[in-house]
Amino acid sequence: MISRRGFLVQAAASAVAARAAFGKDVAARTPMIDAHVHVWETNPEFPFAPGARPSPANATPETLLGLMRANGVARTVLIQVIHYKWDNRFLLHTLKKYPGTFQGVCRVNPEDPAAPDELSRLTEEGCRGVRLSPNGTAEGDWIRGTLMPPLWRRCAELQVPMVILAPVTRMPDLVPLIEAHPDLEVVIDHMADCPVDRPDLLKLLLELARHPRVYVKISDMWVVSKEAYPYPDAQGMVARLRDAFGAERLMWDTNWPVSLQQLPYARIVDLYRNPMTVFNGEERAEVLYRTVQRLWPFDVR
């Protein structure tokens, strides 16, 4: 006869196994939406910006669609790639060519006073959101400048997300803009590229959790990690973000094809679908699909 202690041990083990199985079942049934991908192609109709040298030479929507089909990714958010700079025509072309498959986030020149009107035009053309990329040097100090409030205000009026690619040291610069536009959804790319061994800097990102419309992409773990796949040290950082923001404000992405320098597309998809142990089944559904769907609504059946 099994002892009471033995019964409790077996019950606990069964609960853990059931929880893991439930998580895998949810992942298998969840229509994954990739929150961050770039596309481009060598095409004289859509020339690259002067000095751009994209690698790989082509990252076409057709290649991406093949990868999505092969790996069970239902929809994808396209982020205007820097190779075209402020020329969003290829992004718009792709959105129109494949309606319903992609959502698009444009770029505008943050140092151009006409940027708010350009954002309005691009939104009318089909984009949903804008990306700003202030670097960590003095060249990125425009994020503190007088041209930011009108652009952020227009973004809030258009009700599209503001996407920020910036080092974690820039997070305090966003606070006045976030506080001035409490209804604007703000998305921080790639965990603000915070080094995995700098919890002091991670606090700058965690402090943004007090603003209920700030979201974080838990991507580029393969960049910040100092350990092998599946990057347990970076998963520890993701766990801290989960505790601060909640899974409903986190989202995954592949950052394809930039990520090809470290991992193939399929390996990244599998990372979030299976070896990410910091989420239970319902949390994983938020990260894989629901959060992105709230920000960039798709018709996913």
Place of tokens 């899974």: 247
**Mean pLDDT taken over the chain:** 91
Please report the pLDDT score of residue 275 as a whole number: 87
Q: Compute CA distances 209 → 213, 214, 247, whole Å.
A: 8, 7, 12
CA gap 170, 104 in Å, rounded = 25
CA gap 255, 36 in Å, rounded = 5
DSSP readout, 213-243? TEEEE---HHHH-SS-TT-HHHHHHHHHHHH
pTM: 0.90
Alpha-helical (H) ranges within 47-145 are 61-71, 89-97, 115-125
pLDDT per position as a tens digit, 191-219: 999 999 999 999 999 999 999 999 999 99
Please report the pLDDT score of residue 299 as a whole number: 81
List of domains in the chain: 31-295 (3.20.20.140)
The tokens for 127 are 């984009």
CA gap 151, 204 in Å, rounded = 24
Residue 192 near residue 166 (C-beta atoms within 8 A):
yes
Would residue 141 be called left, alpha or beta, if left means φ above 0 and alpha means ψ between -120 and 50 degrees?
A: alpha
HSE of 70 in the Cβ direction (CA atoms, 13 Å)? 10
pLDDT per position as a tens digit, 2-24: 343 432 333 333 333 333 443 44
Alpha-helical (H) ranges within the chain are 4-29, 61-71, 89-97, 115-125, 148-158, 171-180, 199-206, 221-224, 232-245, 265-273, 281-285, 291-295
**Residue 103 φ/ψ, nearest 5 degrees:** -110, 155
Distance between first and last Cα of the chain = 50
Q: Compute CA distances 40 → 34, 90, 94, 215, 252, whole Å.
A: 17, 7, 10, 26, 21
pLDDT per position as a tens digit, 260-289: 999 999 999 999 998 899 999 999 999 999
